[in-house]
Amino acid sequence: MNGKPVLRVDRLVAGYEPGLPIVNGASLTLRAGEIVAILGPNGAGKSTLIKAIAGLVATPSGQIWLNGTDLRPLPAHKRTALGLGFVPQTENVFTRLSILDNLKLAAGILPAAGRAAAIDDVLSLFPDLAARPALLAGRLSGGQRQMLAVARALVVKPRILMLDEPSAGLSPRLVLEVFAQLGRIRAQGITILLVEQNVKAALALADRGIVLVGGRERHEGRSADLLGDPGLGALFLGGDAVRETGS
Amino acid sequence: MSLQFLADGLLAGLLIGLGAIGVTLTYAMLRFANFAHGEMMSFGAYVAWSASFLLSALAGTAWPAMGPFSITAAVLLGGLAAMILTAGLALLLDRLLFRHLAGRGEAITLVIASFGASMALRSLIEFAFSSSPLYFSSDLQIAVRLGMGIRVTPDQLALIGLTLCLLLAIHLLVTRTQAGRAMRAVAENPTLAAVVGLDVRRVVGLTWVMGGALAAAAGTMAGILVQIRPNMGFDFLLPLFSAAILGGIGSIPGAILGGIVIGLAEAACVQFVGAEWRAAVAFLILVLLLLLRPRGFFGEAA
């Protein structure tokens, strides 16, 4: 992928408590149209990094640039309006709202005239959701919630879609379904940044992988190279992680 | 057996439900129990009384009652003024007090701050109006028989109708508008709401406005039904919190249903047990609820 850089994170420090950084000087660049997977062992700071980019975790230092705009001073909702979509790992839908209301809520930042069309567009990607728009999101299964969360993020046509562990808690069949959907989303020109524990599935989908250890990137490379690197699994992914998680 | 408690309980319950909507939403969004909410009801009642008094003074004569009701157009206009000003008061409390404390320390800091605001407001009201009760009207209301031993005054019927209209308006607001969806979303998950692109601070402000306006409406109606006293809002606190918890924190239909249950239980207690036990009913329901079903009717399991 040789697209134009759309997101640049430079020496970012982020954490939940002052003086206790979880992300400790991480840097990455995301190019238009590519899929990048952030990998690493538990506690490496993967989720904290993606939340910090979304504006949910304090960032005492470093830089986050989205298409030339400095995101650090902006609250989360303004980052969303600039085209940064984020799907959290858990509690990623409003359970007391219907499927349609979840989508209408997200479409609220679009001009009023385009909201209905945007919702129709996204529902055409998710026939399961389109079949019962009045159903409360709280009554959906884990996989369906994940789909709704992705659909909700897509309604506003983000430039970048960030997902935190989209395969967590899903059956292998649903994981395949979710990842196939991500492939289709990328085909629409949306850049994707995902955090994943399911290393093999993530690298099978992604163009590049970034391995995070101790809150900063240790290794970065093309997915095929990472998958073929026997030392990497042992060093950074917990021994046989590459083989096991993808089986 | 007379079923009078049904009429009394329904009206009291609807008023409690109106007040509990603000309590349940601010609790869900800001994660603290706002003990000043009762005083917003008192403040609203006093503003409505003052505005209707002022309108009568400006007209040079008392405004005529509307049909069989003791309620005048001046009282209705006063109620409207009370809703606007109390919404402003709620917003002011948020801007000057709660917003600065939220996120800085423990929830208990906000609770204690709301206690302080509650005492300050009550004392201010007492200082301005004295502790003597005030009345919107001294007219005698003749109750009409509805059958099954139920008798209601025209004012009670009018207030039930007004409350139902207000509840319908709230229902339409929260289910059919973007602002309503935003309030429900922030009440359920403020972090996700921000990710979705909502300005959470603005939604919280809107919720204070709605909660304050509804508290004023409930306070004014309670004042029309009985009397206005500086302590009236404080006396409503326990039923308000019981209703909010009974319905499930963050649930607007739950708050209304919870209010009706508390109102009916209190009225049944007055009729069948004794008026002296009335205040204990909400407390008893609250304790049982916290022991048996702390998430209430529509609350999410922790």
Listed range (A39-53, A179-193, B24-38, B97-111) with the worst mean pLDDT:
B97-111
Please indicate if any CB of chain B lies within 8 Å of the CB of A46.
no
pTM above 0.80, yes or no: yes
User: DSSP 3-state assignment of A82?
Assistant: coil
Angstrom distance (rounded) from CA B6 to CA B270 = 11
Query: Rounded to whole angstroms, how far apart are CA atoms B84 and B65?
Result: 24
Put simply, the answer to whether A88 touches B182 (Cβ < 8 Å) is no
Identify the structural domains of chain A with CATH numbers, from first to last.
Answer: 5-91+157-237 (3.40.50.300)
| A109 touching B (Cβ < 8 Å) | yes
CA dist list (Å): B283 to A128, A207, A230, B287: 46, 61, 65, 6
Whether the predicted pLDDT of A247 surpasses 70? no
Instruction: Judge whether A56 is closer than 8 Å to chain B, CB to CB.
Output: yes
Size of interface A-B (CB pairs under 8 A): 65
- B147 HSE (CA, 13 A, CB side): 0
Q: Where are the beta strands (DSSP E) in chain B?
A: 144-147, 150-152
Span B174-205, pLDDT tens digits? 889 999 999 999 989 999 999 999 999 999 99
Q: Check B195 against A80: CB less than 8 A apart.
A: yes
Among the partner-chain residues B189, B199, B300, the one whose CB lies closest to the CB of A77 is B199
Interval B142-173: pLDDT, tens: 888 888 888 888 888 989 999 999 989 998 99
Could you read off the pLDDT of B108-126 as tens digits, one per residue? 888 999 999 999 999 999 9
Q: Scanning every residue of chain A, which has its alpha carbon at the shortest distance from the alpha carbon of B185?
A: A94
- Phi/psi of residue A162, each to 5°? -110, 135
Q: What is the DSSP secondary structure assignment for residue B134, as one 8-state letter?
A: B
Mean pLDDT of chain B: 89
Residue B18 vs residue B289, higher pLDDT? B18
Q: Which helix (H) or strand (E) holds A38?
A: strand A35-39
Query: What pLDDT, in 10s, does the model give residues B220-258?
Result: 999 998 899 999 999 999 999 999 999 888 888 899 999
CATH number of B4-292: 1.10.3470
B188 vs A: CB within 8 A: yes
Which pLDDT score, from 0 to 100, does residue A239 have?
A: 46
For residues A227 and A214, give the distance between their C-alpha atoms in angstroms, rounded to a whole number. 21
Sole residue written with tokens 């509307």: B66
The verdict on B288 touching A (C-beta cutoff 8 Å) is no
Cα separation, B25 vs B209, in Å, equals 11
Report which DSSP code applies to B98: I
What is this model's ipTM? 0.90
